[in-house]
Structures are given as C-alpha cells and as structure tokens.
Amino acid sequence: MTKPVILTGLRANNNLTIGNYFGALMPMVEMANQKAGEYQINMFIPDLHSFTTPINHDELQGQIMHNARLFAAAGLPLDHDDILLYRQSYVPAHSELTWILDCFTGVGEMGRMIEYKDKSAKIGDDRVSVGLFNYPVLMAADILLYGAKYVPVGEDQRQHLEFARDISERINARFHDILTVPDPLEKQTEFFGKGQGLRIKDLADPTKKMSKSDDSGKGVIFLTDNPSEAAKKVMSATTDDKASINYNPIEQPGISNLLQILALLRGHPLDDVEAAYKGQSSYGDFKRIVADEVAGFLTAFQAKLADVSDNAIIAAFERSEQVANQQANETLHRVQQAVGLRPRG
C-alpha cells in the first residue's frame, strides 16, 4: 500500500437500510469521489461475516451481488485504480490472519463486546456461534491487512474499531511495529466530519437502532422499499406528546430521529434543520415533509440501482481481488514471520 487506506465493509445478510446508507455507505462513497488518487479506497463485502447469525445460504450469492449493486447505485466508481471493491472470502488472508489474532485475544475481551452481548441475549446461548463471538477479530483482520487508517462506520461498530486498535497495538508491542494502527476515533471523526459515529433509530421504537435484521421491518426503511410504503412508515413513526419539535434525543427520540434523517437526506447541517422547525406543534405536517423527502430519495436511488451493470461489478471484483490479495498477503507474511510461522528475512 503506497497510499493511506480508507476502508469499510457492509455485511450482505439482508437488504441495506438508510442507517447503513448514512452511517457507512455514503461517507465511504464521498471519500471515494473526493479522495481517490491521494488515498486508496477499500470497499468490501464481508461475506464471511454474513452468517455469524443464521441465514438462508441459498440466498447469499444473490445478496452479495445485490450489495455490490447498492454500492454502485450510491455512487461508488467501479473503474478507478485506487478504488477496490472486493469480497472478503476471495482474499483468504482475512481468515488466516483472524486465526493468528485469535490467539492473542482474550475470551473476556470478546465477551464484553456490546453487540455480541445484545445478539447473544436475543438468540439464546445454545444458538450463539463461535463466529458471532469471534466476529470483531475477523473485522480487525479486515482492517489491519491493508493498514487502513480511516474506517467510516456507524456508532454500533465503534467498539469493534477500538478493538482493532487495541489488538494492533498489542501485536506491535510484542513484535516490533509490524502493523499500521488505525487512527483514534476522535481523529476519524475529525477526518470524516460529523457523520462519523451516526446511529439512525428505528421509526417504531426510536430507543433502538434501525437494524436490517429487525424482524418486523415496521420501523426500518430499506433502500429497496417501495417509496410510498416507506413514506407510510414515516407517517406512523413513534413520536411523543410534547407537541413541540426539538432535537433532544433523550426526551424526544422519535422527533429527533426524524430531524436527523431529514438533515441527512437534504445534506444540510442538523442545527439548520432543527432551527427551521423548532417549536412547531404539528407533528403530522412535519412527518409529511420527512415522508416526502424519504420517498423522493428512494425513487431517485432506485432509478440509479436499475441502471447498474452486473458486468461492471464483476470486472471490479476481479481487478480488485487481485490487488487485495497481493497487499493482504504481504501483511500476512510479515505477521507469519513475526510469530515464527515463516522464516525471518
């Protein structure tokens, strides 16, 4: 890697939501369009992460292609030498580095990961896979193989990003600086601007994250939702009885979430959007404005999605996977030498 690397991945385990879009996809596409040339942009599909919780395996291939199409529709250029689009499992070094890092990771450390605790509480102990437990280690390998400095992710992934920093520092302390440590989270926020660390909430239950694996889907806007159905979800979003629009995520999580979504859709600062509606009492009128904006956004996005060429995606995979394998194998070899699996220089 001769250029600094910006990297992110979005799992192919369901359709993506507007949370995924604003939390990770859009920041990454902006980076790709503004910074390729100066930076290398690694956008990948963490297909090995896709079945840490049970999925229908007959659908995985289709989901992988679908996600890549969503990336392209969001504006990821497919034919730029500095922009890599690849599938994690096509670069075997990801699995191999994971095993090595596993042996330097504490069981207690993984058990404290909030996402693991939440998901395992939901699924029940008997059905929790070692893969789910171990998932942050694979994520760290994804980042460290390419020496990525910047990793745009939503708020729910920040603890995992912190772990990638911890494990790289641990390996460096033990084996003399063989890995690039991702920048601290505050520096990442500075680099990406305000969007970093975003958490869009579920419309029906705004105390929880909007999640693609939510069973009912009632409070979730998927990028492929029918625009008028999505507008209906906004119209029935849970709010409060204060009859006054304010950005106050603790006391008014529903209205605050809608303000945040509107600001993101319009590309305006949240403060400006709040100022425009502050104190207004008609939630119905405000929801209509947000609903129309959501429907307009989805209509435009889906038109772009229909135009994406699968051949262009496959060509980008093939070109990128060649480069990714080369770069990842170099890092892996350095680690293998350090831990004694390969002869040293």
* Closer Cβ to ligand TYM, 9 or 227, answer by number: 9
Q: Whole-angstrom Cα distance, residue 215 to residue 163?
A: 29
* Closer Cβ to ligand TYM, 100 or 315, answer by number: 100
Task: In angstroms, give the least distance from the CB of 238 to ligand TYM.
Answer: 15
Task: In angstroms, give the least distance from the CB of 334 to ligand TYM.
Answer: 20
For residue 309, what are its two tokens? 């060429």
Spatial neighbors of 300 by CB under 8 A, at least 6 apart, are none
User: Would you call 212 a catalytic residue per the annotation?
Assistant: yes
* Closer Cβ to ligand TYM, 142 or 274, answer by number: 142
Q: What is the DSSP string of 189-210?
A: HHHH-TTTT--PBPSS-TTSB-
**Which residue among the candidates 208, 212, 218, 304 is catalytic per the annotation?**
212
Task: In angstroms, give the least distance from the CB of 24 to ligand TYM.
Answer: 3
User: Would you call 304 a catalytic residue per the annotation?
Assistant: no
Which residue is nearest to ligand TYM, using beta carbons?
23
- 3-state SS class at 44: strand
User: Would you call 3 a catalytic residue per the annotation?
Assistant: no
Nearest to 257 by CA among 272, 239, 276: 239
For residue 54, what are its two tokens? 């049970």
- Interacting residues toward ligand TYM by CB under 6 A: 7-11, 19-20, 23-24, 46, 49, 139, 142-143, 151, 153-154, 156-157, 198-200, 209-210
Task: In angstroms, give the least distance from the CB of 89 to ligand TYM.
Answer: 12
Place of tokens 């991702």: 182
**Which residue among the candidates 35, 201, 209, 287 is catalytic per the annotation?**
209
* Closer Cβ to ligand TYM, 252 or 257, answer by number: 257
**Which residue among the candidates 119, 208, 218, 304 is catalytic per the annotation?**
119
Q: Whole-angstrom Cα distance, residue 209 to residue 219?
A: 10
CA 198 to chain CA centroid, Å, is: 10
**Torsional class of 197: left (φ above 0), alpha (ψ -120 to 50), beta (otherwise):** left
Task: In angstroms, give the least distance from the CB of 122 to ligand TYM.
Answer: 15
* Closer Cβ to ligand TYM, 146 or 283, answer by number: 146
Q: Whole-angstrom Cα distance, residue 245 to residue 203?
A: 16
CA dihedral sign, ordered 201, 150, 148, 172: negative
- Catalytic residue positions? 119, 209, 212
